[in-house]
């Protein structure tokens, strides 16, 4: 199968046609690229699992392009859930709600709930609107690989497995959406992201943060290894240690992934290959996956800065901990 990359202008018609025929199409969102199919068509949904090599007990998020479409796929939407939807959609958040009967078990992996997301990316919303059906989509990577933040990342991973990728440039947010379960008594964050606990608490009064293992178990996906680069990765909290490990691991072609300040510190001590993730935590969030993609291509060992446990940096660290398997130096 030939995998095409087309802009919205050139590819929309073809994308809609493919979705109607029950095929899959990769598309950009503000978080990461998704691999979409008609959420109401079981056979099409199965193709996503095949293309990704994804375990069938890991549910998919359903994407809509209008708040009024949420009623079609979810039921018993509480006022608190409505408040979250109004505050953060469209945006980098997924809300877990009780599912409507039309959502097949293949999408929800047999759960009575469904994750709903209304992305804030014009290519995503134009695509979903034109399809006239809700689009279920996981991140557009093969299982256990890093989520793609550009059409080129999708192509590298999925070439030959899917017919079409809609081009939408680089993802602005850069890590997957925050997932909040609104079906529990206390709204519970199942996956941290750009919408932080503090932002959610402002709207809800209180949320359970992503900390306890019980919370993790609610998102079935959390038990699988995720977001791992092809080479070994470790986390370092000081420039000194990073340079020391860099020198020790010289034979493995190491690289340091860090923000601009950290890299300036590194430059004072040693002469190391580095990838600069930018100045702010937003910059780091936007660039973290693309830097891992670049690092695994050009280098053989990744030393990544510890960005701490505050605000969105904590969400980025959640992905880095997974990628490094928790290894620290
Ligand atoms: O930003 C994102 O959310 C991206 C873009 C493409 O929208 N999508 C994404 O999908 O990250 P995926 O499949 O890679 O991750 C979805 C996560 C999985 O860990 C899955 O287990 C969890 O969401 N999930 C989906 N439905 C759920 C449900 N009903 N209850 C609990 N967890 C759910
Ligand atoms: Mg994923």
Tell me phi and psi for residue 189, to 5 degrees: -80, 120
Cα 184 to ligand 1 centre (Å): 17
Cα 310 to ligand 2 centre (Å): 23
Per the structure block, which two tokens stand in for 27?
A: 């598309």
Whose atoms come closest to the Cα of 218: which ligand? 1
Q: Please, which residues have CB within 8 angstroms of residue 238's CB and are 6 or more apart in sequence?
A: none
What pLDDT does 45 receive? 97
Q: Which of 54, 150, 179 to mutate to test the pocket of ligand 1 (most atoms within 8 A of CB)?
A: 179
Lowest mean pLDDT among 60-64, 133-137, 144-148, 198-202: 198-202
Given the CA of residue 111, which atom of ligand 1 is nearest to it? 29
E strand segments, 125-203: 135-137, 164-166, 178-181, 188-191
Cα–Cα dist 7/31, whole Å: 18
**90 Ramachandran zone, left/alpha/beta (phi>0; psi -120 to 50):** beta
DSSP 292-308: HHHHHHH-SEEEEE---
Torsion 170-172-176-181 (CA) sign: negative
Does the structure show a pLDDT above 90 at 259?
yes
99-129 pLDDT tens trace? 999 999 999 999 999 999 999 999 999 999 9
Cα–Cα dist 206/322, whole Å: 27
Cα 266 to ligand 2 centre (Å): 32
What pLDDT does 96 receive? 98
- Exposure b/e, 221-237, CB count within 10 A at least 16 = b: bbeeebbbbebbbbbbe
Q: Please, which residues have CB within 8 angstroms of residue 18's CB and are 6 or more apart in sequence?
A: 24, 25, 163, 164
Q: Which of 30, 61, 118, 147 to mutate to test the pocket of ligand 1 (most atoms within 8 A of CB)?
A: 61
Lowest mean pLDDT among 32-46, 197-211, 226-240: 197-211
CA angle 219, 47, 223 (to 5 degrees): 20
Cα 39 to ligand 1 centre (Å): 14
* 155: nearest Cα among 302, 11, 293: 293
Given the CA of residue 137, which atom of ligand 1 is nearest to it? 6
210-258 pLDDT tens trace? 764 333 323 444 444 566 888 999 999 999 999 999 999 999 999 999 9
What pLDDT does 216 receive? 33
CB-based contacts of 95-100 (< 8 A; 24+ apart in sequence): 95/180, 95/182, 96/179, 96/180, 96/181, 96/182, 96/183, 96/190, 97/70, 97/182, 97/183, 98/74, 98/183, 99/73, 99/74, 99/75, 100/72, 100/73, 100/74, 100/75
- The pTM of the full predicted model, rounded to 2 decimals, is 0.81
Cα–Cα dist 23/3, whole Å: 13
Average pLDDT, integer, range 78-83: 93
What pLDDT does 225 receive? 54
Whose atoms come closest to the Cα of 93: which ligand? 1
What pLDDT does 201 receive? 84
Using CA positions, which residue lies closest to atom 31 of ligand 1?
A: 219
Lining residues, ligand 1, CB within 6 Å = 29, 31-32, 34, 58-61, 94, 96, 108, 111, 113-115, 117, 137-139, 176-177, 179, 190, 218-221
Per the structure block, which two tokens stand in for 241?
A: 């240690």
272-306 pLDDT tens trace? 999 999 999 999 999 999 999 999 999 999 999 99
C-alpha pair distances (Å), 10 with each of 19, 168, 226: 16, 12, 33
Kindly report the average pLDDT of the chain as a whole number. 93
What ranges in the chain are assigned the alpha helix state H? 8-20, 42-52, 70-73, 79-88, 105-108, 122-131, 151-158, 197-204, 213-218, 239-248, 260-269, 281-298, 311-324
Tell me phi and psi for residue 34, to 5 degrees: -115, 160
């Amino acid at each position: 199968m030939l995998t095409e990359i087309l802009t919205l202008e050139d590819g929309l018609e073809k994308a809609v046609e493919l979705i109607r025929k029950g095929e899959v199409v990769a598309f950009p969102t503000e978080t990461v690229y998704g691999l979409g199919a008609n959420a109401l068509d079981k056979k099409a949904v199965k193709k996503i699992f095949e293309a990704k090599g994804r375990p069938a007990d890991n549910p998919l998020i359903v994407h809509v392009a209008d708040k009024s479409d949420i009623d079609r796929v979810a039921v018993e939407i509480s006022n608190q859930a409505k408040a979250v939807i109004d505050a953060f959609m469209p945006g980098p958040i997924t809300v877990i709600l009780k599912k409507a009967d039309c959502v097949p078990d293949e999408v929800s992996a047999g759960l009575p709930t469904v994750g709903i997301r209304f992305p804030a990316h014009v290519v995503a919303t134009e695509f979903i609107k034109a399809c006239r059906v809700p689009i279920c989509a996981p991140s557009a990577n093969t299982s256990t690989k890093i989520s793609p933040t550009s059409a080129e990342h999708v192509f590298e991973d999925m070439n030959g497995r899917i017919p079409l990728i809609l081009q939408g440039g680089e993802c602005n947010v850069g890590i997957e959406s925050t997932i909040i379960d609104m079906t529990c008594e206390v709204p519970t964050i199942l996956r941290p992201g750009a919408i932080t606990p503090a932002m959610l608490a402002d709207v809800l009064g209180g949320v359970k943060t992503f900390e306890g293992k019980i919370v993790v178990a609610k998102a079935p996906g959390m038990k699988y290894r995720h977001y791992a680069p092809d080479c070994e990765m470790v986390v370092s909290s000081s420039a000194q240690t990073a340079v020391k490990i860099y020198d020790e691991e010289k034979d493995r072609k190491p690289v340091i992934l860090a923000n601009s300040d950290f890299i300036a510190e590194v430059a004072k001590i040693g002469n190391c290959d580095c990838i600069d993730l930018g100045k702010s935590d937003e910059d780091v969030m936007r660039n973290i996956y693309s830097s891992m993609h670049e690092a695994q291509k050009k280098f053989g060992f990744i030393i990544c800065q510890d960005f701490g446990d505050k605000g969105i940096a904590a969400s980025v660290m959640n992905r880095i901990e997974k990628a490094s398997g928790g290894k620290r130096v």
